[in-house]
Amino acid sequence: DVLLEKGIMLQAYTPGQHRVTCPSCGGGSSGERSLAVLIADGGASAQWLCHRATCEWTGGADLADHRSGGGGGSKGSRNFGRGLNGGGDDRSGGGGDGKAGGG
């Protein structure tokens, strides 16, 4: 299985979003389940994203053909849509320039 080759172990490999400990960073010192894994409807593909700022491991795989795509430890490839980041990830760049006050 492609996900197992990457060290991604889910309780169930069903379509939808899953949260597990990231095999890249181990969830940090607290071992949090920071890796979001999204399995597409029909189970044909999967995408993953670690939400720890010090890791941000991302990738994807075509599960139907068992060919891996991306995910070697890249940072910044955050074009997954809202499925993995829940639409509320402030690091995704929307709005404001981060500067306080103005003059």
CA distance 40 to 66: 14
For residue 88, being part of any structural domain is answered with no
Q: Identify whether the C-beta of residue 94 lies closer than 8 Å to the C-beta of residue 82.
A: no
Residue 103 has pLDDT above 80, yes or no: no
For residue 94, being part of any structural domain is answered with no
For residue 32, being part of any structural domain is answered with yes
Average pLDDT over all residues of the chain: 74
Count of domains observed in the chain: 1
Residue 60: what pLDDT?
A: 93
CB under 8 Å to 65, separation ≥6 — which residues?
A: none
pTM (2 d.p.):
0.64
For residue 96, being part of any structural domain is answered with no
CA distance 65 to 45: 9
For residue 57, being part of any structural domain is answered with yes
For residue 15, being part of any structural domain is answered with yes
Residue 77 has pLDDT above 50, yes or no: no
